[in-house]
Structure 1
Amino acid sequence: MYWMEFLTVALVHLLAVASPGPDFALVVRESVTAGQRNGSWTALGVGSGILLHVAYSLLGIGLIVSQSIVLFNLFKWLAAAYLIYLGVQALRARPAVVTDLAAGAPVVARSARRAFVTGFITNGLNPKATLFFLSLFTVVIDPHTPLVVQALYGVYLTFATTLWFCLVAWLFSRARVRAGFARMGHWFDRVTGAVLIGLGVRLAVSEIA
């Protein structure tokens, strides 16, 4: 009965998750510099952030945030500041050890917890994700759809997001891919940092659509 609605949700989500953004940049950077393990934990953090968006969409809190300019701007500036912070940290990265990258060994030792939390916060504080899920649960999904079914949609969205970014982590942690990045050394970190800072600034000055 809800298959067509589910397929619509899945298609819209696929187009959104495949679009490069802060989550993608973060998972790629973590995978290249710290290996698949840390990249996968970051992906799990990003996927878990989806549960947060789904939860407040179901509770209607997202509607309150979207209708309050003050709350939305506060949320937006927090997210922008965090992205800029991540970008600055990336810009300060030391040159990579080429032999370690070529051998496929992690260059930077980071805890799984830190990787997970970074992924979770990056996704959870993204106001564009807030508006996306709010739109998804108010426009695409029929309001009369049972909450249990909507919650199942949320579980799927979490799983699909996690799987996608785990695949990204796997790809960018391959020895051949990392060996290619080894020639660029710490410049890759710096480019990624500039991208994150750019995304943060763009987010900070953006208006509610």
Structure 2
Amino acid sequence: MPALEQFLLIAMVHFLAVASPGPDFALILKQSIRYNRRIAIYTSFGIAAGIIVHVTYSLVGIGLLIASDERLFTALKYIAASYFCYIAWHCLRAKKPDNDLSGSVSKDVNDSTVSSGGAAKFETAIKTPSAKSAFLNGFLINALNVKATLFFVSLFSVVIAPETLLSIKIAYGAYLVAATGAWFCFLSYMLTQDRVRYVLQRKGYILDRVMGIILLLLAIQLVLSDLQ
């Protein structure tokens, strides 16, 4: 398969994978609802950095080893399930915002400086994590994602031909990292638009809890798949 066709196939498969709801999306949604654009974007950078891990072990063949070694793969699944439960716990604890906060946001929603005062009060009502913490959360949620492991192992062993030059494989990997970061930064930007954020700050706790349930179900699925 020519390099261009191979790249287009990789880009398409990757977009379908990264755009589908999953742990990464759940975390970005949580960060956007609970904190602000800056924290969500740092989390997006962390998710992109997690892709570097998957690309690296796929290039050197460790991914195949992990996928073929039952003990290593089981250990990774339990670690991932534990971290998913940790994130899910925080999502499920999301509370409905105070009426005065939502009212303050509602008052300014039609102004040109929509919800600036209300948003500031909302953000100070909770403790905002550091950029380093946000980055680490994004990195761990992606790097520990077993489905991402299987995706990249399949991608580099099936879609990308074995005879493909290493330099081209590295270029593919760089694209996957950049595309992932760009996608989640775009989501972070859209989800923290003033009007969108106004709705999320009032009703986002419901989405937060739903995403918590989804992450919990993913964790249970990982554990049950090991018992079957």
Scaled to the shorter chain, the TM-score interval is over 0.9
1-side partners of 2:201 and 2:22: how far apart? 23
CA offset at residue 94 of structure 1? 4.4
Distance 1:18 1:186, change over 3 A: closer
Amino acid at match of 1:204: V
Aligned to 1:88: 89
Indicate conservation of the 8 Å contact 2:105/2:198, yes or no. Answer: no
Amino acid at match of 2:211: T
Partner residue, 2:38: 37
Judge conservation of contact 2:96–2:203 (CA < 8 Å) in 1: no
1:172 corresponds in structure 2 to 191
- The one-letter code matched in structure 1 to 2:138 is G
Change over 3 Å in CA distance of 1:9–1:82 after alignment to 2: same
Q: Deviations over 1:128-147 (max 9, x none)?
A: 11110000001000101111
Cα distance in structure 1, aligned partners of 2:206 and 2:159 = 42
Q: 1:104 aligns with which of 103, 113, 119?
A: 119
Q: Distance in 2 between matches of 1:185 and 1:82?
A: 22
Q: Alignment RMSD, CA only?
A: 1.9
Alignment pair present for 1:158 and 2:177? yes
> Is structure 2 residue 136 aligned with structure 1 residue 121?
no
Aligned residues: 208
Instruction: Specify whether residues 100 and 189 from structure 1 end up closer, same or farther in structure 2 by C-alpha distance, changes over 3 A only.
Output: farther
Question: What residue ranges of structure 2 are gaps of 5+ in the alignment?
Answer: 107-114
Q: Report matched runs for 1:141-156 at 5 Å.
A: 141-156=160-175
2:29 matches 1:14: no
8 Å contact 1:47–1:120 — kept in the other structure? Answer: yes
Distance 1:207 1:16, change over 3 A: farther
Q: Point out where structure 1 has 5 or more consecutive residues left out of the alignment.
A: none
**Whose Rg is larger?**
2
Q: What is the Cα deviation at residue 95 of structure 1?
A: 3.9
> Is residue 87 of structure 2 the alignment partner of residue 72 of structure 1?
no
Q: 1:166 to 1:185 in 2, by over 3 A?
A: closer
Retained in 2: the 8 A contact 1:35–1:104?
Answer: no
Cα distance in structure 2, aligned partners of 1:32 and 1:120: 19
**C-alpha distance in 2 between matches for 1:47 and 1:104:** 28
Q: Which amino acid aligns with 1:104?
A: A
1:195 partner amino acid:
I
Q: How far off its partner does 1:205 sit?
A: 1.7
TM-score (norm 1): 0.92
Is 1:135 aligned with 2:130? no
- Output the amino acid matched with 1:203: L
- 2:201 maps to 182
Superposed structure 1 runs of 4+ greater than 4 Å apart: none
Aligned residue type for 2:119: G
